[in-house]
């Protein structure tokens, strides 16, 4: 499990950056420059492997897998913390989901009528889903600090997408925002994107540190 955690962290960090780029295209008015400039060197130098998006359904899972997944969801809903291995697996799963849905939304936006506010709003809701789910994860104690950063970044992404949709709906209604309203809109977008970039990067660092500490403890125990 832990041998793949570095890849998972890269996917999480890169997916957040990809998502900010995608939503900037969708909102037209958004300025994603700030988010791009605050991407850390570590994230920039690491290439996340491309994977094919797979559609999973209940019909294609075994009864055992379904039961296990239901148990995990029930635990999360009840506020029970995942185990360390479960948390790392879930983080990697949702990080990949963020990347996959971002890629899909980007492709859909490329062929969508820019004036289709309702259609774009639906895409933004689709894009929000993995961020909302990730923010709700109950992390084990070892990864609590990392999860707090990821939750903050996910919440900021959701806020950003809501701002984008609100701006599009305002434009579609024919209302012309004042200069002050436009200024605040841009400030709110920039602030949200900065939080996404910063907190996902810090979350990855904290998760790496936590995983390293866990491995050290396991090595010490084995040596004894």
DSSP state of 115: T
Q: What does the block give as tokens for 124?
A: 């933004």
Q: In terms of pLDDT, which residue wins out, 18 or 141?
A: 141
Return d(Cα 149, Cα 106) in angstroms, integer: 26
pLDDT digits (tens, 9 = 90+) for 129-139: 999 999 999 99
Q: Does residue 214 register a pLDDT over 80?
A: no
Could you give the CA distance from residue 152 to residue 157 in angstroms, rounded to a whole number? 9
Using alpha carbons, list the distances in angstroms from residue 65 to 54, 72, 139, 182.
16, 11, 21, 49
pLDDT of residue 20: 53
- Could you tell me the pLDDT band of residue 44, with boundaries at 50, 70 and 90? very low
Tokens of 204: 């990855």
- The whole-model pTM stands at 0.66
pLDDT tens, residue by residue, 78-124: 468 899 999 988 988 998 898 898 889 888 988 888 888 888 889 89
**Mean pLDDT confidence for 33-38:** 26
Summary count for the chain: helices (H), strands (E): 8, 0
pLDDT value for 47: 26
Q: What percent of the chain has pLDDT over 70?
A: 59
| DSSP string computed for 194-220 | HHHHHHHHHHHHHHHHHHHHHHHHHHH
pLDDT (0 to 100) of residue 114: 80
| CA–CA separation, 75 and 158 (whole Å) | 24
Domain positions in the chain: 2-40+68-217
* pLDDT average, residue stretch 22-37: 34
Instruction: Give the Cα separation of 109 and 203 in Å (integer).
Output: 29
């Amino acid at each position: 499990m832990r041998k793949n955690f570095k890849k998972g962290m890269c996917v999480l960090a890169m997916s957040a950056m990809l998502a900010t780029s995608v939503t900037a295209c969708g909102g037209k008015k958004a300025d994603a420059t700030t988010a791009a400039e605050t991407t850390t060197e570590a994230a920039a130098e690491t290439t996340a492997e491309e994977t094919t998006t797979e559609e999973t359904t209940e019909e294609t899972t075994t009864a055992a897998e379904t039961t296990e997944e239901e148990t995990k969801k029930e635990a999360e809903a009840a506020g029970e913390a995942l185990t360390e291995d479960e948390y790392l697996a879930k983080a990697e799963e949702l990080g990949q989901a963020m990347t996959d849905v971002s890629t899909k939304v980007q492709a859909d936006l490329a062929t969508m009528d820019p004036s289709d506010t309702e259609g774009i709003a639906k895409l933004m809701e689709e894009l929000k889903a993995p961020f909302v789910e990730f923010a709700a994860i109950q992390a084990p104690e070892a990864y609590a600090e990392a999860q707090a950063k990821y939750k903050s970044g996910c919440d900021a992404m959701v806020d950003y997408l809501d701002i984008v949709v609100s701006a599009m709906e305002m434009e579609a209604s024919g209302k012309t925002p004042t200069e002050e309203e436009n200024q605040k809109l841009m400030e709110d977008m920039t602030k949200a994107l900065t939080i996404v970039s910063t907190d996902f990067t810090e979350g990855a660092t904290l998760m790496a540190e936590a995983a390293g500490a866990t491995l050290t403890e396991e090595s010490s125990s084995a040596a004894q």
